Amino acid sequence: MQGLLVAGRYRLADSIGSGGMGRVWRAHDEVLHRTVAVKELTAALYVSDGDRAVLLARTRAEARAAARINHSAVVTVHDVLEHDGRPWIVMELVEGNSLADAVKERGRMEPGEAARIGLWVLRALRAAHSAGVLHRDVKPGNVLLGADGRVLLTDFGIAQIEGDSTITRTGEVVGSVDYLAPERVRGHDPGPASDLWALGATLYTAVEGRSPFRRTSPLSTMQAVVEEEADEPRHSGALGPVIAALLRKEPERRPSAEEAEQMLAEAAEGRRPHAAQAFIPTQSSGLHTGGTGTPPRPGYGPTAHASGYEPGGTVPGYEPAGTASGHGPAAPGGPGRSMTGPTAVAPTPPGPAPVRPRPRRRLRTLVLVVAVAAVLGGGAAVAFQEWGGGSAQNAGSSGGAGPATPSPSASGSATRGSDGTVPASWESYHDPLGFSLSLPKGWKRTVYELSGGLKQIDYSPDGGYHFVRIAINSSPDFADAHQHQVDLEQQLQRLVDYKRVALKANIYRDRNGSLWEYTWTALKKDPPHIAGPRHAIEETYYSRSGTEYAIYMSTPEQDWAKTSKQFKWVLQGWQEPPAG
């Protein structure tokens, strides 16, 4: 086709690139006497008439999309035309190669250079999004590196223009699967955050020389995009936190384009962007996977609120802090890596080699897989008919926290809460962490987790068959309590007979909070083979200082009538630690 005159004006010279959809030619515009790039859609040669019409529509959409964007980092489209029944696009010619070519030739790029490239791509995306255009196929092959040092974003061939009806068939996935955002793989409508995810994956490829999620097939690649975290980049330098922030699974947790631009500008100067840390899940203590997965990677650790199956999953042979091996009843939630409660995160297992934290999303998946029923301590397997008190031994505590100090309740009520106040027979427990709460006499305290900003304390009369958990997170990674609970509920959908009773935003102690109540069925196959319906309820709120408090209570379904009353009294008697 070399020498072919297209539309009586553009004479093709030599092919300068090709892909699955088409070929790009260097050509001479014989009217304006300038060199241009002409994109030929070769796919149109091999499709039906109906599909050819779709390709033509996509080509026109690409031209319209690019024409709406006025930015020096976006390749200018001069014309769109038909020749030989096929669509062709005439664009400005960029002398140079693509980012994909550069990575292939050099192996990988230095972080500062990759950050500079990413900065220009982001500016192009900001201009596109401001014009109502989503690119939807950001990848190294569509980032052009000009010989003059310019960086340009090209190929808006599957772009979507705000207000246009889609030209994509129902169920069709468009774009390169390595760089599809998780929400797009799930079939959700893309947004600007989807383009930012693809930029993050592109930058990862630039500094590591490989795609972060490429697997052996498109299906396994898409599964990795949704379910797995990328391996920690080894050569990312100051760009690492920015990549991690852009690759958050949830689009609402990725930085905005403005925030990402600032981070990339700092990384391009070799400075580590501290603002990126706000978008990266905080690390928990080490997680022992019981041989079910790859060792976790630092820098991509789970956050505090990583609960899954409420009644305690375990890792064999490990007891949580506060339980002496072979002495006394198990801590509430049972021995092992208990996943019980609202904000359960695994304590650090013993052993000579520390285990690094697993990525947040992967942890949640693991929780749902290994979760088992709560393990009961001495004698609690027998139904506890009147469980307002108990004779279980104090399981103790770790980290020097010490036991809670009970004192008589100051409620002044002469009856068991008939006037809506805490029953006079209850005691006020002053916890070493500074908070206090009212509970029946005889409830015992167990430290479940003391790790950085996360602290979790359990109180139970019977070793965990019924229990209250207080979770305190001084560094929450959700905007509000309701959003956090909604996210957690998504992780519980695979519980047997899971049913939401309530999940609604509310006001608690004059603060925005959220109340979540649900039921499920514990399976008999789950050790220690205590099966049956369970009921749980949780109030979560943020204090004025920004600390997240979750007050959680769990019980067998048959005791729910009593538990629901007790939970109200627990909320009435709760006092958070004093300020300062």
User: Minimal CA–CA distance to 570: which of 421, 415, 463, 448?
Assistant: 421
Catalytic residues: 137
Alpha-helical regions (H) of 74-217: 99-106, 111-130, 182-185, 192-208
DSSP string computed for 80-119: EEEETTEEEEEEE---EEEHHHHHHHHSS--HHHHHHHHH
Question: ∠ CA 352-356-358 to the nearest 5 degrees?
Answer: 140
With a CB cutoff of 8 Å and minimum separation 6, the contacts of 470 are: 431, 435, 437, 456, 457, 458, 459, 549, 550, 551, 552
Other CB atoms within 10 Å distance of the CB of residue 283: 20
**For residues 354 and 513, what is the distance between their CA atoms, to the nearest angstrom?**
37
Instruction: Answer for the pair 578, 491: CB distance below 8 angstroms, yes or no.
Output: no
H-run or E-run covering 143 = strand 143-146
In single-letter form, the type of residue at position 134 comes to L
**Per residue in 537-557, is it b (16+ CB within 10 Å) or e — as a string?**
bbbbbbeeeebbbbbbbbbbe
**For residues 58 and 473, what is the distance between their CA atoms, to the nearest angstrom?**
49
Local structure of residue 287 (DSSP, 8 states): -
Contacts of 261-267 spanning 24+ positions with Cβ under 8 A: 261/119, 261/122, 261/123, 261/126, 264/115, 264/118, 264/119, 264/122, 264/239, 265/119, 266/238, 267/111, 267/112, 267/115, 267/237, 267/238, 267/239, 267/242
Instruction: Answer for the pair 303, 477: CB distance below 8 angstroms, yes or no.
Output: yes
**For residues 241 and 111, what is the distance between their CA atoms, to the nearest angstrom?**
12
Structure tokens at 206: 């630039």
Helices and strands in the chain: count of H runs, count of E runs = 11, 21
Structure tokens at 251: 């689009």
**For residues 239 and 452, what is the distance between their CA atoms, to the nearest angstrom?**
26
**Dmax of the chain from CA atoms?**
100
**For residues 543 and 508, what is the distance between their CA atoms, to the nearest angstrom?**
10
